[in-house]
Amino acid sequence: MVEFNQANPYENVRVLVLEDETHIRQIICRLLRQIGFRLIHDVANGADGFKELLRVNPHVILCDIHMEPIDGLTFLRKLRSLGKPEITRIPVIFLTADSERDTVVSAKDLRVDGYLVKPVSPKQLKTRLDAVLFP
C-alpha cells in the first residue's frame, strides 16, 4: 500500500492528524517529522478531519478523542461506517490523555488500530505507526 523506501520508509506515507490543542498538534507533527514523515496533514476536529480524510486519502490517521464539534470516537464511527473500503481500511490510532476504561472500551469496539496515552514518547509513536504501516 505504501511505496516502501528503504532509506526513509515514511517518505511517501500520508498521515492525517486530528487534534484540537494547537500546541499539541504542533508537537505531534514535529514528532512525525522527526520520525521521517513528510506528508502530514493536520486539522483541529473531527468535522474538518472527515473532509481532509476524503481530500488527501491518508495512509494512517492519528486522532485525539476529546474534540468539538465531532469527537474522535464519532469520527472513527463515521469513518468505519462509510461504504468505501479504501477509506474504512485506513488505520486509525487514538492519541489521547483519556485513559478511562469506558473510552478505551468504546475505542476498542470501533476496532481502533492503536491507542496511545499522552504524553507519548517518540519511540512509542514510532513503534505503533510501524506496526500499522508495515505489518
Partner 1 sequence: MPRRWVVFCVVAVSVLCGSGAFSYWVYHAQRDELVADASHDLKDATVAFGQALTGIFEPALTLSGTVADSGIRHADAQAWPTLFFAVATGPVRQFEQINGAFLAFPDGRFLHVQDLEISGPKRSPKGGATSRGIYQRIIDDPENDNSGRWRVFAPETGLSTLSRRTTKPYDPRTRGWYQQVVADREAHWTEAYVFATSGRVGVTYAKPILNADGTIWAIVGVDLSLGSLSQTLLTTSSALAGAADIVFATDFAGKILGHPGLVSDQSDFQVSTQEFLERYRDPTSFESIAPLQLKQGPDVQTVSASGMSFLTTRTELDPERAMPMEIYLARDLEHLLTDARLVVYRNVLMAFLAVVVFGVVASYAVKLRVEVSRRQQAEAELIEARDVAEAATQAKSTFLATMSHEIRTPMNGVMSMAELLGLTRLDGEQRRMAKIIIDSATSLLTIINDILDFSKIEAGKLEIEAVEFSLMDVVGGSAELLAPRAEAKDLDLIVRNDPSLIDRRIGDPTRLRQILLNLGGNAVKFTESGGIGIRVRRVERSELPGTESDGVSMPAECLRFEVSDTGIGLTEEQRAKLFQAFVQADSSTSRKYGGTGLGLSICQKLTELMGGTIGADSVAGEGSTFWFELPLAAVGDAPPRYAEDLSAASVGLVGLSDAVAEVAELYLRATGVEDVERFPTLEDASGTRSLWIVRCRSGDRSMAGLAALEGHVVLLGYRAQMSELAPELKTRASALLTVPISPDTLWRAVAIGLGLRPAEEIEIDVREDMAFVPPDLEAARAADALILVAEDNETNQVVVRQMLGRMGFACEIAENGQIALDMLATPGYGLLLTDFNMPVMDGFELARTLRQNEQETGLRLPIVALTADALAGTEDACMEAGMDGYLTKPIDSRKLGAMLARYLPHALALRREAADDAPVAAGKPTIDWDLEIFDPDTLGGTFGGLDDEAKELISSAAASWTTRVADIGVALAAEDMKTARDLAHALKGATLSVGANRLGRIATDLQDCIDNGDVEMAAIMAEILEPTLEEFQETLPKIMRL
Given the rule CB under 8 A, which residues bind partner 1? Answer: 6-7, 12, 14, 21, 23-24, 27, 30-31, 34, 38-39, 50-52, 54-57, 97-98, 118-123
Say how far apart CA 43 and CA 55 lie, in whole Å. 12
| Residue 25 backbone phi and psi in degrees, to 5 | -60, -40
**Closer CB to partner 1, 32 or 76, in the complex:** 32
Task: Show Cβ contacts of residue 100 under 8 Å, excluding neighbours closer than 6 positions.
Answer: none
**Closer CB to partner 1, 74 or 98, in the complex:** 98
State the nearest-atom distance from the C-beta of 34 to partner 1, in Å: 7
State the nearest-atom distance from the C-beta of 109 to partner 1, in Å: 22
**Closer CB to partner 1, 51 or 108, in the complex:** 51
Q: Are 63 and 49 in contact (CB under 8 A)?
A: yes
State the nearest-atom distance from the C-beta of 39 to partner 1, in Å: 5
**Closer CB to partner 1, 6 or 81, in the complex:** 6
Output the nine-digit C-alpha cell for 112.
481502533
Say how far apart CA 54 and CA 51 lie, in whole Å. 5
Say how far apart CA 120 and CA 118 lie, in whole Å. 5
